[in-house]
Each structure stands twice: as structure tokens, then as C-alpha cells.
Amino acid sequence: MGRYSGKTCRLIFMLVISVIFFVAEIVAGFMGNSIALVSDSFNMLSDVLSLCVGLTASWVSRRAGSGRSTYGWVRAEVVGALANAVFLAALCFFVSVEAIKRLARPEAIDDPKLVLVVGALGLSVNTVGLLIFQDCRSCWCLGSRMKRAHESTKSDGGCEMNGEAGAVSEPPQKEGQPFNIRGVLLHILNDALSSMVVVVTSALFYVWPLDPGAKCNWQCYVDPSLTLIMVVIIMSSAAPLLKETTTMLLQMCPADLPLAALVDEVCLLPGVLGVHDVHVWELCKGRLVATLHVHCSPELQGGGAAFTSLSRQMRQIFHRAGVHSLTLQPEFGEPQPGKGVCAATCLEPSCQKLSCCPHATRQQTAVSQNNGHPLLPLTEVSVDRPDSTSTLLRERAGASKTVQSTEF
Amino acid sequence: MAWEPKRRRLLCMLSLTFGFFIVEVVVSRMTASLAMLSDSFHMLSDVIALAVALISVRFAEMTQSTATNTYGWIRAEVMGALVNAVFLTALCFTILLEAVERYTVPHEIENPRAVIWVGAAGLLVNLLGLFLFHEHAGHGHSHSHSHSHRTKTNKVSEKSSNTKSRLDGSSEDLSCNLVVNPGSEKKSADMLCNEEVEVRLNGGVHLEDLEATQDSASQLNMRGVFLHVLGDALGSVIVVVNALIFTYVWQSCPSKGPCNNPCFSQHCPHLMPLNGTSDSEVPSAGPCWVLYLDPTLCVLMVFILLYTTFPLLRESALILLQTVPKEVDVRRLRQRLRSLEGVLAVHELHVWQLAGSRIIATAHIKCHDPDAYMDIAKRIKGMFHDEGIHATTIQPEFGGAATAESGDALCELPCRIQCAPKQCCGTGTIIASAGSPTSRRTSDSQVQYQSHTGTAVTYTEGQGAEVKLQRDVESAV
């Protein structure tokens, strides 16, 4: 689509509207000496901040990679979404603190008419924002996804993030959106709900005004109670986003990837004696990266063509699983029984602690560790199956045990 | 393990802070003081930050690979640091908002003496916290050096005894085979390996420094905690100072009788007494600047906190963004790899930091001679080791004659052509082929896309790839 995809345009548009409304509210608040207006304008300010974070993340993620980042900056959107989600959680915490203080010491609204007007305006601005970032994309993308089903390689900037060719089922609407849009959407939803609470409470006080100096009745408790309910709603909406972004940033294996089955399939290929140090992680939505070490039988050592062919077969297996960036490290020779550790570790034992997956030192346990899993008895050959319950090792039928191991 | 003292300190501080929070809530109910209630919730935000740090430490102890997380959970501490930094920023934001509101409607402190006592007690708790976590104040290097010197002799002897026992346990220890021929005697293997342990450690970096810098991931996490506690300490200082000044400088209006309060009545001059009483008989509320002291100090505190939080935010974000760690120069590494004998080209070189000193690298190396490959691979591993990278995955590629002039050969084993946008480093932008700006493909079996370095790449199914170096490609997008 180009540099200015629909996503950025909408973020900029919403940012402009929010800034205008914020400035108008704060000026009106100071001129009219109304605290309600000033505090509502701060809600708008937090929206503006979250939009800035979203825009910055979007801009950074489009920058080309450099010597500073070999993977490019595509992860910026994930980090931006996490920052927005945590910021929102913090704001919800402080808002609930205020609500609890209000429950402890209830107050009536002083000028319900003004607050009602301001609340209604804020609600309209936020509703516009919700509409902008919502449905249209999935309707539009549905059309292009149908075209994509005929194996076109068209890649629209707008739809690309929304579900790639590998997506089989229609994802739920919110989850299909890019992360930073979801983060911003949550902030706008928060603001919209709080404006709604303001409108409801001020309408109550407008319709049934409280005499000045009279004791607070049930009306005074409506605002804080609704606020607390709103916090619960927002937090439960933010939880999936928090979970997905943390999963990605912690280098976790995607939940829908059948890693054990993949490793099984790879082990069944001819010439593969064992597999270890398998790592699969998600760089950003849809981009999976995998690395693994493969213990190959000595026959493959001779010509490059045999290894290349094995490599291609492995890539096919990973491709079908949706992993398109794969780095395979071959290791030749018979794996030693009971070892199952890498034949090509770094130079010194001390480097183990600084490798990605430190092994336990051998003198501590009789059974050695393999990527953190205890191995079964020594007669079996190890395969690093990243499965915490089973460390079943697999031995190639007919493989000789007397070949010298050749190392890197 | 290094985790235990950290966890103990965090737990200790957590329980102290939570206990104090309860005390403050109770006192605020007894004295009906809203200011104390808000201060108690600042303590609660501290509790949350400490809980986040504790959970991260607990997770990060699980360094073993599992089905869901093949790298273990060690990155949890970096995440904890980022979450705490963002939380602190949000806290600063809300304090700023409260300060602005205080400027428009200044508040008097209701019960300054009680506030002084509780504020002082809170300050004491926070000072204790600062003392517990002060080692993590800076970037952690100073701490690591002092720590390392203290335990220097212990660690070295421990290391060599470890290596010895590993060799004793298994004569074909594979890790030692890297430096020793397979056929050598065990004894000579012992000695050689021990020498290697002492001499060739991380390319000249000493073993002690190696041990010390392992903790830099947890340094980030604890730094986040330290900054929270610092913020709270500053807040307590402001509370105490403000309450003291209120007690001794401010003159409040008496509860009965007329009172001239110039600080509040600026907008409503018609409320001033009109019965002709002279000004000197009507008591005035104390100097107005006292009311603006609290928000001013708060704004100052916010700037200090933001200034100290920003580096933490940046460091943890850079790690999570998979950037190359500062210690490694990727361009120089790439040149050194290419300069190795037998290496035709290097591509898909990626270096990133898992957490702390755990740096991970992957590369595809193009060689023409499969037999010489193992020797090359050993040298490659050595080169990475010298850079401090100990977890590498090197993929050899053989064959493929022509390479681009830059030496950046393309992968002989790419995924299918449609997958280019989904690979780790495709920008996914399909650019027009030369001569036909509107068409998306050059032919049915070819696709052009832009790689992350800005070069245009044409993939032809079954025939490998061909590079057209177009420096101005990016401007076309």
C-alpha cells in the first residue's frame, strides 16, 4: 500500500482530534474555573499519549534494519502495545484508588449541567475513535482474504498484518488487528466508558438535584461504583493483549504450533540421528523464527548436495507449520549414548552458562541434563524434545554405535 | 544461587511496605485525613512494583527450556523491568495531573502533625528500601566489579575443579573435544582443557567478569525496583517538608469568626467583609506561597524520576526489540567472518540478546568445500566466542556459483517464494518490477520483494535468488 497505510492515517486523524479537544477542554476549564473540565481534559491527554506511543511504534517498525538491529524494528509495535497496556493498567489502578476514596467520602457533583455537556462531548469524540479503529478493516479484509484463498501473493499494506495466508479460520475481530491499534483502542474504550459514567451520573444529579448542604444520598455512590465496574471491564479486555504481547516478548513458542509433532517429523527423515537445541519463537505477528541443531549420519558429511537435500526437506516440514525462517546446524557422527548434548557447543565449559540454555554441571547429578531435561538411562540416544514431561529419546534403527564422533 | 538474597530482599521490602500501607489506611480512617489515604495508595503502588519484580525473579529462575518456552524464562526479568518503568511513568503522569489540580485549587493540610509522623515513618521504610537495593542504582558495572574481586579466587578454583570432574566423569567429553583431538589421552586432555579454561576465556575477558556480568538482566529488574522506592522516598520527603512548613509557617483561619483568606478568594471579591471592619482586626490566612509548595516540589520530583527512569525504559525496550547488544559490532563481525578462508559469503547474520550476557547468533555461511566445512565451523565458533557470543547456530550452504558483489549472497535454501513477507527479515512490501510499476509479479514463478536492508530481491521458484542492488528502492515505497 505504501508508507501511509490506513493504519497510520487513522492514528494521526484521531491524534489531531484528541489534541484539539484536549486543548479546548483545558482552556475552557481554566477560563470557566471548572475542575470537572480540567480533569476530563486529562483523560483526553492520556489518550493523546497512548496515540503518540502507537504512532511512534508504527513509525519505528517501518524503519529498515541497520547495524543496530539485525531483525529490523518490526517488534516495536509489540513493545508499544505492551507499554500502552501497562500504562492503561496503571491508570485503571489510580482511577480505582480515586473511586475507593470517593466511596469512603462521597461527594455530590457541583454543576451537573456543565459536567453533562462536557461528558457528552467527550463520549462523542471517543465514539468516533472507536468507530475509526473498528469494523471497517475486517469487512474490507474479508474480501481480499477470499481472493487470497486462490493463492495470490498480493500483500496489501492494510490487510497484511491482519491475518496472513496461513490463517485458516477467521480470527475474532479484535484479535485480528495489529497490536498497537489494539493498545490504542483499549485506551479509547477506557475513555469512552468513563465519559459514559460521567454522563449517567451527571444526568442523575441533573434530574434529581441534591439540595446544597444536604447529606449525600445513594446518588453519590453511583459514580464510584460504576467506575469500579468500568475498571473491571477494561482490565478484562486488556488481559488478552497483555498475554499475547508478553508471550511474544518472552520468546515463547506460539501456542498453536505443534512443536513436538514437528520434531517427530524431522527425526523421521532419513539421515537424521537426533535433533537438539530446538528453538521456535515469534518475532512479530506471523513471523516465526526457528533454529535447531541436527545430528546427521556420517553419510551426509561427504557431499554438500546430500545435506542440502535434507535441509530442503526440513524446510518443507517447517514451512507447512508456518515457520519460514529456519537456521539448521548440522552435526556429524554418532551421538554418544547418554549424552545428548550439543556436539558443537562453544569452546569452553564456562561458556555454557552464557549460552541460551545452560546445562547443569555433570557432577551434580548422575543423569546429565539436556536443555534442562533429565535424560533417560544411558542406553538410549537422546533427542531434545522440548517437552517437560517426557524425555523419551529416539534411536535410529540400525545405527552403528562405534563410529567416532567428529566435532566442529 | 544468586536468586536467594534477591528474593529475600524483595520479600522483606514487600512485607514492610504492605504493612505500612495497612497502618496508613487505618490512621487515615481514624484521623479522617484524605491526604494520608492518598499517600497510603502511593505505598500500594510500591507494593505492586515489588510484586512485579518478585514474580519476574521467580520466573527467571527457570532457565530450563520447556515446551512452551524453548529459551526458558530468563527474559522475565527484562520484562519486569520494562513493566516497572512504564508503571513508574504512569505514576509520574498522575502525580503531574494532581499537581496541576493543586495549582488551580490549593489545598490546606488538615492535620499537619499527624502527617509529619506518618510521613517520617514512611520515609524510614523507604530509606531502608533504598539501602537494600542501592547496589542496583547505577548500571550495575560498579557492583559487578567489586563483587567479582571479592570472589575472584573462589570462582577460579571452583571452575577448574568443575572442569576436572567433568573430564573424570567421561573420557569422551564432547565439549573438551573441541580443543583436543579425539584420540588423546585423558590426562593430557585434562591439562589442556584446564589451560584453556584459564587462558582462553571469552577472548580475553576474565572469568570473574564473565560471572559478574551474568547478572545484568537482574540488574535491570532491581533497578526498576530501586527507582520505585526512590520515587516513594522523594514523595515522603516532600510530605514531611510540606507538613513541617505548614505547622510552623502557615497560619490558618480560626474555625470561628471572620477570616480573610486571600489565597482562595481571588475570584470572589464580593465575599470579603463589607461592614467596615479594618483589615488589621481580621485574621488572614498564612502566606499563600506555602500552598503552592507541595505541587511545585511534586513537579520537581516528577522530572527527577522521569530523568532516571528513561534510561531503564530504553535499555529494557532495546533488549526486547531484539537489537544487537552494544558490545557487539555486527558489521565488523560480518567482515571478520567473510575474511575467513573458505567462506564465500555470509548472510542472515543475526545477533540478539536474550537477557543479561546471553547473546545468541545465527548465520548462514556459504562455502564451496563441504569437507573443509568442519574446520571452518570451528574457527567460526571461535570467532563468535571471542565476541562473547556462546550460543550460535550456523547453517552451511554449499554450491551456488554467482554471488552479489557485496558478498551478501542470498539464501540457497529460502522458503517458498510466497513466504518472503513472512520471513524474519522481509518488509513484506512487494515492489513493482522494472518497467511495470503496477504489476506485482514479474512472472508466475517470480516475485520481487524488498529486504530489510533496502535491496530488491527477486526469487525464482526452484532456481534460487538473484539480487538487484537498488539503493533507491526505499524511496519508491
Would you call A329 and B395 a contact, using CB atoms and an 8 Å cutoff?
A: yes
Residue B386 CA to residue B375 CA, distance in Å, equals: 17
pLDDT in tens, A16-75: 999 998 888 888 777 776 666 777 788 889 899 999 999 999 898 888 777 788 888 989
Residue B137 φ/ψ region, left for φ over 0, alpha for ψ in the -120 to 50 degree band, beta for the rest: alpha
Mutation target among A159, A342, A348, A357 for the B interface, most CBs of B within 10 A: A348
Residues of A with Cβ-Cβ distance to B207 under 8 angstroms: 350
Would you call A357 and B423 a contact, using CB atoms and an 8 Å cutoff?
A: no
Mutation target among B82, B207, B322, B447 for the A interface, most CBs of A within 10 A: B322
Q: What is the mean pLDDT of chain A?
A: 74
> Above 50 in pLDDT, residue A259?
yes
pLDDT in tens, chain B (477 residues): 566 788 899 999 999 999 999 988 888 777 766 667 777 888 888 899 999 999 999 988 888 888 788 888 989 999 999 999 999 999 899 888 888 888 877 777 777 888 888 889 889 999 999 998 887 776 544 444 444 444 444 444 444 444 443 434 333 333 333 333 334 344 433 333 333 333 333 344 444 444 444 467 778 888 989 998 998 888 888 888 888 888 888 777 776 667 777 776 544 444 445 454 455 566 677 778 888 888 888 899 899 999 999 999 999 999 999 999 988 999 999 999 999 888 888 988 999 999 888 899 999 998 887 777 878 888 898 889 888 888 899 998 886 544 444 444 456 566 666 666 666 665 444 443 344 444 444 444 555 544 444 455 554 544 444 444 334 333 433
Q: What is the pLDDT of residue A143?
A: 55
Residue A192 vs residue A305, higher pLDDT: A192
Residues of A with Cβ-Cβ distance to B174 under 8 angstroms: 336, 339, 341-343, 345, 405, 407
Which residue pairs from B303-308 have beta carbons closer than 8 angstroms and sit at least 24 positions apart in sequence? B304/B234, B305/B88, B305/B91, B305/B92, B305/B227, B305/B230, B305/B231, B305/B234, B306/B89, B306/B92, B308/B227, B308/B230
Residue A365 CA to residue A361 CA, distance in Å, equals: 8
Residue B399 φ/ψ region, left for φ over 0, alpha for ψ in the -120 to 50 degree band, beta for the rest: left
Strands A325-332 and A287-296: parallel
Residues of B with Cβ-Cβ distance to A186 under 8 angstroms: none
CA A211 distance to own-chain centroid? 51
Would you call A286 and B267 a contact, using CB atoms and an 8 Å cutoff?
A: no
The residue in chain B having the minimum alpha-carbon distance to the alpha carbon of residue A154 is B440
Residues of B with Cβ-Cβ distance to A22 under 8 angstroms: none
Q: What is the pLDDT of residue B318?
A: 93
- A36 neighbors A194 (Cβ within 8 angstroms): no
Q: Which of B182, B359, B384 sits opposite A404 (nearest CB)?
A: B182
Would you call B385 and A251 a contact, using CB atoms and an 8 Å cutoff?
A: no
User: Does residue A319 belong to the interface with chain B, where contact is any CB pair within 8 Å?
Assistant: yes
Would you call A49 and B425 a contact, using CB atoms and an 8 Å cutoff?
A: no
- Residue percentage of chain A with pLDDT more than 90: 19
Q: Which of B163, B166, B323 sits opposite A69 (nearest CB)?
A: B323
Residues in chain A: 408
Q: What is the pLDDT of residue B36?
A: 72
Q: Work out the burial of residue B403: count CB atoms within 10 Å of its CB; fewer than 13 is exposed, 13-18 middle, 19 or more buried.
A: middle
Q: Which of B79, B100, B362 sits opposite A250 (nearest CB)?
A: B79
At a CB cut-off of 8 Å and minimum separation 6, what does A282 contact? A247, A248, A252, A254, A288, A289
Any alpha helices (H) in B105-206, and if so which ranges? 112-133, 141-150, 152-169, 174-177, 186-199
Q: Which of B67, B177, B418 sits opposite A387 (nearest CB)?
A: B67
pLDDT in tens, A135-153: 555 555 555 556 655 544 4
Residues in chain B: 477
Q: What is the mean pLDDT of residues A175-197?
A: 85
CA angle A397/A399/A404 to nearest 5° reads: 160
Residues of B with Cβ-Cβ distance to A250 under 8 angstroms: 69, 73, 75-76, 79
- B193 neighbors B163 (Cβ within 8 angstroms): yes
Which residue pairs from B277-282 have beta carbons closer than 8 angstroms and sit at least 24 positions apart in sequence? B282/B258
Q: Which of B67, B89, B174 sits opposite A259 (nearest CB)?
A: B67
- Counted across chains A and B, CB pairs separated by less than 8 A come out at 342
Cell of B362: 545465527
Q: What is the pLDDT of residue A232?
A: 94
- For chain B, state the CA radius of gyration: 32
Would you call A79 and B321 a contact, using CB atoms and an 8 Å cutoff?
A: yes
Residues of B with Cβ-Cβ distance to A94 under 8 angstroms: 41, 90-91, 94
pLDDT in tens, A330-382: 887 655 554 445 655 666 666 666 666 654 333 333 322 234 343 333 333 33
Residues of A with Cβ-Cβ distance to B48 under 8 angstroms: 93
Q: Work out the burial of residue A77: count CB atoms within 10 Å of its CB; fewer than 13 is exposed, 13-18 middle, 19 or more buried.
A: buried
Q: What is the mean pLDDT of residues A86-92?
A: 92
> Above 50 in pLDDT, residue A246?
yes
Residue A59 CA to residue A24 CA, distance in Å, equals: 28
How far off is chain A from B396, nearest CA to CA, in Å? 7
